[in-house]
Structure 1
Amino acid sequence: MPYAQVAVNSPGAGRRSYSYSIPDELADRVRAGHGVIVPFGRHTFQGIVLEITDEPGYSRTRPIESLVADDPVIAAPLIGLGEWIAAYYQTDLYTAYRPMLPPAFERRQTIIVRVTEAGRDAMESVSPRRAEILAFVEAAGETTTAAIRDEFGARAARDVTALTGRGYLDTSDVWEGPRISPRMETFVEAAAPVDQLRIKAGELRTSGAFRQADALEALAANLGGRLSDLRRVSGAARGSWDALAEAGVITLEQRETRRDPLAARDSAPPAANLQLTPHQKDALNHVTASIDDGVSDTYLLHGVTGSGKTEVYLQAFRHVIEKGRRGIMLVPEIALTPQTIGRFWERFPGRVAVLHSGLTLRERYDEWRSIAEGQFDIVIGSRSAALAPMPDVGLIVVDEEQEWTYKQESPTPRYHARDVAIERARREKAVVMLGSATPDVSTMYAALRTEITLLELPGRITAAENGGGTGWTERPLADVEIVDLRQELMEGNRSIFSRALREAMTDALARGEQAILFVNRRGAGQAVQCRACGHTMRCRRCTTVMTYHADERIVCHLCGERRRSPTRCPNCRRNTIRAIGIGTERVAEEAMAAFPGAHVIRWDRDAVNEARGHEPILGEFANGRADILVGTQMIAKGLDLPGVTVVGVVNADIGLHAPDFRASERVFQLLCQVAGRAGRGHAPGRVIVQTYEPENQAIQAAAAQDYRQFYLEETQFRRQLRYPPYSRMARLTCARTSRRDVQEAAGQLTRLLRAEIRSRGMMNTRVIGPAPAPWERLRGRYRWQITIIADDPTKLLETVALPPGWTVDVDPMSGG
């Protein structure tokens, strides 16, 4: 008898698989990667088959109950990757596979409850509360655990478990059908030539069958198609079409139809490759050699902004496709997807798929299935696309690899798409390209230690026509000027725009050029604060400062709480409470006042929600219909806007003092990236960086666009404290409704971890904390955390069982 090792979707399953026998009726159908329903404890759960074996892992097994779908839901090459994710990121085994599953795979389960004969006899011997529950179920005949919870409260779950354990209640599981399934539509085809259809239509009209005649005339004009479209054109009801099918004049056929998010794009002939510079050729030759050799090499393509990295990506993808394999292109933000798709669609029309959370459920479902079937050569997407079900992967590109958005923060698994891509490529003998103008310090450290291969594009270039076709011409980086806002204030300028920035924007607008104003925060004000007593408005459920918006409301951007901004300080009762700080709304308003003839638009998450997507905003600015773009982080990442000659950083200091050892690196990367938006066309660029800390080393290095200077200073600081890349981190977080409870729990676990370190002699392992999280209270729960620093922090966690309520974040990318 065959057996299956199954990852079970149960909180008690942990990081291991379980053995199940495969019943005879499923023996020829169950394969590795299949979704199944299996018994686990007293209930049934969904699971993923990881392996088919001849022998069970345990002496006693129970049988698989059913398949979730006819086809496997996890591709064979990804099964081992899921096991790696579970071990590396310290997460449950089934949870590691969750990002790989087709959309809406997980079904809802209803638990049906009935009273047993023993339960009827026991109504007088149990507690009054449990007797009420038994009576409630008995009166209903059968009910659900959800109905019991609604009637008796959340604590009723314990009562149901106890009553079931004593045999007084009987439970059974009912699984709902899939939330989404293939969409089938009826298509019409003619069973005779067009001229005969028209003759038959005339006969039908003569006999009084006017609607059937109308249907045939519509069919003759359209030569077939969807029945729904033909009914709309002809006005003929379904009965007329059925009658024609019964008469053998037409055929009706059910076909699956899929929604294509890129269907509206033109299918023009593929654009030709551009001529490469010597540096681009050298980088491409390294990558194509690895593709040809079938080895899983990883490359860091380090090039200044505008150095032509994307052209190297495009030609590498063309090479891998010519070799009969496929590729994945990762971008850090959904906002970058439209422009990236445009560039790739020009080279590979009709062969590009897109996969990200901005698609509708139907679009994601259809796109996922088409990708799994091998209908596309390239998948473009954000973090989750690293786990796309693409067969025959030969190349994975991680553009802007330094971006923290590649790290999944919540829910689990808390994986990093860059590291998952590298591991996937290793298993599938694919090549990885990590591209960045400002690489993650850890990535550059690995490159300099030759753990990965460094390729460099040192100069900025722009496309240009020459006698041999389209090639490149070198362009200088934008000039960067640091403005000391303290000096501006001393000299009487209280505007949010320094005199240098105002002058640069005025000149650019007069020449018909565009400008970008970068704000490292959304909303109209950073905070609402009393100037008399210093009281700051904070969220009532979190510990975060609330953000002021132009509709005179304050919003918590963590939990979503929204209320009207007070006119009087709730602490001292004075009328001295004001919005302080700068956000995109206020900057946009100030820009409209300072440059009255300019068309100003905003690009932040709030504006995207109003515009129903990134593409309308980006399109309006890229097509020259707006003069000034005010935006947050998303405008800094990889956009190519040739009309922009001036970039103003309204306040470079935001984020410098965040409770995170990467704070300086983040600010440096962001400033370099946003500066790279200026001067990408034929006109020179100018960048004005406004700051109250002009002497800060990160700001100085960013102004000089000197990655080497920043890297040397940053690694010296991290080496002293043994921060990554000189170690690795894991952060443990506990959340409770009581501050005292969570503090006690954190203290107990810290003592346990330190005792384990001493007993095992783990001299290079440190435990920092416990301490409150930077946002101590979030959604009504207090959070404390412990940080482990070691060469491999998971070695300590492998031998310490974490109490319930603790979460693990391996290689965290934020301060928590």
Structure 2
Amino acid sequence: MSQLELNSNAEEARHTYFVDVILPVPIPKMFTYRCPFDLEDFLQIGVRVIVQFGHRKVLTGIISKVHERPPEKYEAKYILDVLDQSPVVFPQQLKMFQWIAEYYMCTLGEVLNVALPSGLKLSSESHVQIHPDFDMYESVYDFSGKEELLIEILNKNESLSYSDISKTLQQKNIFSILKSLVQKDAIIIYEEIREKYKPKKEKRIRLNSEYLKEGALETVFESLSKKPKQEEVLLFYLQQVPIYKQTKLNEQGIPKSLLAADLSTSAIKTLTKNGVLEEFEITISRFPDDDQETKPVHLTEIQENAKSDIIENFKTKDTVLLHGITGSGKTEIYISLIEDALAGGSQVLYLLPEIALTTQIVTRLKKVFGNKLGVYHSKFSDNERVEVWNGVLSGRYQLVLGVRSSIFLPFDNLGLILVDEEHESSYKQYDPAPRYNARDVALYMTSIHHCKVLLGSATPSLESFYQAKSEKYGLITLSKRYGNATLPDFIVADMIKEANKKLLKGEFSSVLLKELQTSLDNDEQAIIFQNRRGYSPYISCQQCSHIPKCTNCAVSLTYHQFKKELICHYCGYKEKMPNACEACGSTSLQTIGIGTEKLE
């Protein structure tokens, strides 16, 4: 048998693998792609792949299944590339994605689009370049002014994106120009794939290893005797890096920014050019390690009893509700439970609503857990979110403090989820899909991670409190404030009685005015809260009772006196304050209620 026949039989004996890929598109199905033989060794559930979708798009997807069955309704395209050597998404996450898609009635692609940080999704953008065989002077075609301008620009640039061309030509729709130039064989349009995530780099300086030899540095200093600035740079480096005591420190060098802060940059450049110093780059974390000493938390007897009750409830229930009044010390209990979980080798997710994620709680946790803590927040850049994602994958971050989107992080050994202020509406995402509630997803995660969930609140949601009273959840109550602190006094003013006795001054009760005056007399501060923007919540016709409403949202329009406008606080719709009722024509329009403008 010939070698050609042997190779042919070997190819036939090889298995052809196909993969089902979840793509970040709002289509209710997965797509099957064929795997080239040279990429078979990299196929794993949970790794990212680049695939062509449609005629022009290139997308990043996640492998959810590897098999040998080709699709029946269409011919499978080949995977273009595999991006990861190990999974970036775990099977538990894929199961959770599927549940979210089914429970919140959206597509799996929409879940993936929200779950995966933008920095982990390769973007495909069309680029334009001059055709290699194109010569404008030999072309038989005529070109418009815009076409000639674009050709001139492309001759000066290797390639340009659609958006760059649109800005340069100052024309929004450029497709007709591009189509014409393609037909005239003047340009080529192609897809350029670029990785959004870019590691943070730091330029560093070190001494050339040749000058670590005995006597070499003395020779250098002799040559620099009449070059004080270069000599100053070298002396500063040696102060920072004691090479004679610890030679290995030279390999790490020092940041170039530290050297260039107060010293001559031209002197640094000259020393580098002459080979005395070396410049190199390293990848650094956007979240540098914190060397501060961690401090343990000490619980009071009441807190210790509450913690013991929580642990006892966890033996029979996956979820426990901690109903503790404001200032009762719930956070200290959380921290103690986190310490126990981390000591047992488990990961912990600490969820907070958007409004509650403050610098104070981050600083507080940093003091206890140091570099084990990762923070996942919507205000982070794409690159920072990717670093936290990778930090959870690598095990660098065993504790994550985050908002609702942190439930999508790649946990593989989750032991405890804390949902603080569980009643907050911020845990619910309304737009875009998936319209999930992170608290409820956390409750589902107990079934796939076999972890425990602690819900905490001073004012539990109705549904959580009902589940606790029905004994589906455990219920622990803290009714005393930490350190025997007293609750603030509440004084209720009866506005009807105040009005009947003619004690009201404008919108203010005599009780409020008295207390404000007392505070001012004592050189104290006071805050007045009013939960309505504008001058008044709405206006009403005194004749027919008509109330102007938003044309989009069907809610009453708020009157803003400063702008003399009626504004919808849902969609932003605006209209001028009318002179007469649009229903009956009466000019008897009255502002109803009080807003911050009126209060001021």
Q: Please say whether Structure 1 and Structure 2 have the same fold, judged by a TM-score greater than 0.5.
A: yes
- Does the 8 Å contact 2:420/2:456 carry over to 1? yes
- 1:36-51 alignment to 2 at 5 Å? 36-51=49-64
Instruction: Say if 2:482 is the partner of 1:453.
Output: no
CA 1:171–1:267 in structure 2 vs 1: closer, same or farther (change >3 Å)? same
Relative contact order, higher structure (CA 8 A, sep 6+): 2
The SS at the match of 2:482 is: strand
Alignment partner, residue 420 of structure 2: 399
Q: 2:200 aligns with which of 174, 183, 191?
A: 183
- 1:188-207 alignment to 2 at 5 Å? 188-190=205-207, 191=209, 199=218, 202-206=221-225
Q: What letter matches 2:76 in structure 1?
A: T
Alignment partner, residue 39 of structure 2: 26
- Per the normalisation by structure 2, the TM-score is 0.75
Alignment partner, residue 104 of structure 2: 89
The SS at the match of 2:436 is: coil
Q: 2:528 aligns with which of 517, 520, 535?
A: 517
- Does the 8 Å contact 1:8/1:45 carry over to 2? no
Alignment partner, residue 789 of structure 1: none
CA 1:370–1:113 in structure 2 vs 1: closer, same or farther (change >3 Å)? closer
Q: What letter matches 1:460 in structure 2?
A: K
* Residue 385 of structure 1: how far off its partner (Å): 1.9
- 1:166-315 alignment to 2 at 5 Å? 174-190=191-207, 191=209, 199=218, 202-206=221-225, 211-223=229-241, 224-237=253-266, 239-243=269-273, 246-247=275-276, 250-260=277-287, 267-277=292-302, 280-288=303-311, 297-315=318-336
Q: What letter matches 2:494 in structure 1?
A: D
Q: What letter matches 2:498 in structure 1?
A: E
Distance in structure 1 (CA, Å) of the matches to 2:406 and 2:494: 42
Distance in structure 2 (CA, Å) of the matches to 1:282 and 1:57: 60
CA 1:103–1:153 in structure 2 vs 1: closer, same or farther (change >3 Å)? closer
- Does the 8 Å contact 2:532/2:596 carry over to 1? yes
- Does the 8 Å contact 2:24/2:112 carry over to 1? no
- 1:796-815 alignment to 2 at 5 Å? none
CA 1:580–1:323 in structure 2 vs 1: closer, same or farther (change >3 Å)? same
- Does the 8 Å contact 2:503/2:510 carry over to 1? no
CA 1:139–1:575 in structure 2 vs 1: closer, same or farther (change >3 Å)? same
CA 1:197–1:210 in structure 2 vs 1: closer, same or farther (change >3 Å)? farther
CA 1:336–1:354 in structure 2 vs 1: closer, same or farther (change >3 Å)? same
- Does the 8 Å contact 1:337/1:381 carry over to 2? no
- Does the 8 Å contact 1:211/1:236 carry over to 2? no
- Does the 8 Å contact 1:37/1:44 carry over to 2? no
The SS at the match of 2:363 is: helix
- 1:295-694 alignment to 2 at 5 Å? 297-457=318-478, 459-463=479-483, 473=484, 475=485, 477-490=487-500, 491-507=502-518, 515-523=526-534, 525-527=536-538, 543-544=554-555, 545-546=557-558, 548=560, 555-560=567-572, 566=577, 568=579, 581-584=593-596, 587=599, 589=600
Q: What letter matches 1:205 in structure 2?
A: L
Q: Please, what is the CA RMSD of the aligned residues? A: 4.7
CA 1:429–1:230 in structure 2 vs 1: closer, same or farther (change >3 Å)? same
- Does the 8 Å contact 2:45/2:66 carry over to 1? no
Q: What letter matches 1:96 in structure 2?
A: V
* Residue 328 of structure 1: how far off its partner (Å): 1.3
- Does the 8 Å contact 2:51/2:61 carry over to 1? no
- Does the 8 Å contact 2:22/2:64 carry over to 1? no
Distance in structure 2 (CA, Å) of the matches to 1:561 and 1:219: 62
* Residue 413 of structure 1: how far off its partner (Å): 0.7
- Does the 8 Å contact 1:187/1:227 carry over to 2? yes
CA 1:219–1:501 in structure 2 vs 1: closer, same or farther (change >3 Å)? same
Distance in structure 2 (CA, Å) of the matches to 1:139 and 1:221: 57
The SS at the match of 1:302 is: strand
- Does the 8 Å contact 2:118/2:196 carry over to 1? no
- Does the 8 Å contact 1:7/1:17 carry over to 2? yes
* Residue 144 of structure 1: how far off its partner (Å): 9.0
Q: What letter matches 1:79 in structure 2?
A: L
* Residue 243 of structure 1: how far off its partner (Å): 2.7
- Does the 8 Å contact 2:317/2:473 carry over to 1? no
Query: Once the two structures are superposed, what CA deviation does each residue of 1:260-287 show, in whole Å capped at 9, x if it has no partner?
Result: 3x98x8934414322231xx33442254
Query: Once the two structures are superposed, what CA deviation does each residue of 1:497-537 show, in whole Å capped at 9, x if it has no partner?
Result: 32223334444566676655333234554346677887766
* Residue 374 of structure 1: how far off its partner (Å): 2.4
CA 1:31–1:241 in structure 2 vs 1: closer, same or farther (change >3 Å)? farther
Distance in structure 2 (CA, Å) of the matches to 1:450 and 1:57: 50
Distance in structure 2 (CA, Å) of the matches to 1:528 and 1:266: 59
- Does the 8 Å contact 1:300/1:447 carry over to 2? yes
Alignment partner, residue 607 of structure 1: none
- Name the structure with the higher strand share: 1
Query: Which stretches in structure 2 are left out of the alignment for 5+ residues?
Result: 1-15, 130-145, 155-159, 180-186, 242-252
* Residue 390 of structure 1: how far off its partner (Å): 4.3
Distance in structure 2 (CA, Å) of the matches to 1:254 and 1:187: 6
CA 1:347–1:576 in structure 2 vs 1: closer, same or farther (change >3 Å)? farther
* Residue 560 of structure 1: how far off its partner (Å): 4.1
Query: Which stretches in structure 1 are left out of the alignment for 5+ residues?
Result: 115-135, 161-169, 464-472, 590-816
* Residue 316 of structure 1: how far off its partner (Å): 0.6
CA 1:393–1:172 in structure 2 vs 1: closer, same or farther (change >3 Å)? farther
CA 1:318–1:112 in structure 2 vs 1: closer, same or farther (change >3 Å)? closer
Alignment partner, residue 66 of structure 1: 81
- Does the 8 Å contact 2:539/2:591 carry over to 1? yes
Deviates more, 1:172-181 or 1:547-556: 547-556
The SS at the match of 1:62 is: coil
- Does the 8 Å contact 2:428/2:438 carry over to 1? yes
Query: Once the two structures are superposed, what CA deviation does each residue of 1:166-223 show, in whole Å capped at 9, x if it has no partner?
Result: xxxx9976144133411212222345679989856632422x5555434313322433
The SS at the match of 1:20 is: strand
Paired residues, what number? 540
CA 1:38–1:512 in structure 2 vs 1: closer, same or farther (change >3 Å)? same
Deviates more, 1:478-487 or 1:508-517: 508-517
- Per the normalisation by structure 1, the TM-score is 0.57
Alignment partner, residue 647 of structure 1: none
- Does the 8 Å contact 1:107/1:175 carry over to 2? no
* Residue 332 of structure 1: how far off its partner (Å): 1.5
- Does the 8 Å contact 1:327/1:379 carry over to 2? yes
Distance in structure 1 (CA, Å) of the matches to 2:434 and 2:278: 49
* Residue 437 of structure 1: how far off its partner (Å): 2.2
* Residue 69 of structure 1: how far off its partner (Å): 5.8
Distance in structure 1 (CA, Å) of the matches to 2:593 and 2:304: 47
- Does the 8 Å contact 1:50/1:79 carry over to 2? no
- Does the 8 Å contact 1:10/1:45 carry over to 2? no
CA 1:500–1:5 in structure 2 vs 1: closer, same or farther (change >3 Å)? same
Indicate the structure (1 or 2) with the bigger Cα radius of gyration. 2
The SS at the match of 2:19 is: strand
Alignment partner, residue 20 of structure 2: 5
- Does the 8 Å contact 2:299/2:333 carry over to 1? no
* Residue 329 of structure 1: how far off its partner (Å): 1.2
Q: What letter matches 1:345 in structure 2?
A: K
The SS at the match of 1:104 is: helix
* Residue 104 of structure 1: how far off its partner (Å): 3.4
Distance in structure 2 (CA, Å) of the matches to 1:107 and 1:547: 47
Alignment partner, residue 114 of structure 2: 99
Distance in structure 2 (CA, Å) of the matches to 1:75 and 1:586: 55
The SS at the match of 1:460 is: coil
The SS at the match of 1:28 is: helix
